[in-house]
Amino acid sequence: MQRNRFHVLLAALMLLIASGPIVQLVWAASHPFAARIVVTGAYFLVLLSAVLAVAQSRWTVIFAVGLAAPALVLKAIDLWLDVHAVVLTIQYLSMALLALTAILILRFVLHQDRITPNMISASLCVYLVLGMLWASAYTVIEIADPGSFHYAYADDDANDRMRFGEEDTDVPVYYSLVTLTTLGYGDIAPKTPMARMAASLEAVVGQLYLAVMVARLVGLHIAHATAGGGKRKRRA
Confidence at residue 83, expressed as pLDDT on a 0 to 100 scale:
80
In this structure, what are the phi and psi dihedrals at residue 158, rounded to the nearest 5 degrees? Answer: -60, -35
Confidence at residue 193, expressed as pLDDT on a 0 to 100 scale:
95
**In the chain, where the domains are located:** 5-235
Q: What is the mean pLDDT of each run of 10 residues along the chain (236 residues)?
A: 84 93 74 81 93 87 92 87 86 95 92 85 95 96 91 60 85 95 89 95 95 85 67 52
How many whole angstroms separate alpha carbon 201 and alpha carbon 203?
Answer: 5
How many whole angstroms separate alpha carbon 21 and alpha carbon 12?
Answer: 15
Let me know how long the chain is: 236
Cut 0.85: pTM above it: yes
Confidence at residue 161, expressed as pLDDT on a 0 to 100 scale:
74
Helix axes 32-54, 117-144, angle to 10 degrees: 130
